[in-house]
Amino acid sequence: MMVKTFLFRSIMGIFFGAFLTVLAAICFVYLGQQPVLHGEVFVKNALGTLFCGWFFTVSPLYFEVKSLKLSQQTLLHFCTVALLYFVLAFGIGWIPVQLNSILFFIALFLVFYAVIWSAFYLYFRHVAKTLNGELKNL
Question: Average pLDDT by consecutive 10-residue portion of the chain (138 residues)?
Answer: 90 95 89 82 93 95 94 96 96 94 97 96 95 90
User: Same domain, yes or no, for 7 and 30?
Assistant: yes
Same domain, 84 and 134: no
* Helices 2-30 & 39-58 angle (0-180, nearest 10): 140
pLDDT for the residue 137: 85
Written as one letter, the residue type at 66 is K
Pairwise CA distance, residues 57 & 74, whole Å: 15
Candidates 26, 29, 6; CA nearest to 18 is 26
pTM of the predicted protein model: 0.84
The predicted pLDDT at position 9 comes to 94
Looking at the fold, whether 78 and 26 belong to one and the same domain comes out as: yes
51 and 104 part of one domain: no
Find out whether 49 and 24 touch, Cβ atoms under 8 Å. Answer: yes
Query: Which pLDDT value is given to residue 31?
Result: 86
Within a 10 A sphere around the Cβ of 45, how many other Cβ atoms? 19
Report the pLDDT value the prediction gives residue 36, as an integer from 0 to 100.
81
For residues 108 and 88, membership in a common domain is answered with no
In terms of domains, do 79 and 25 share one?
Answer: yes
Domain that holds residue 65: 1-94
- How many domains would you assign to the chain? 2
pLDDT at 125: 95
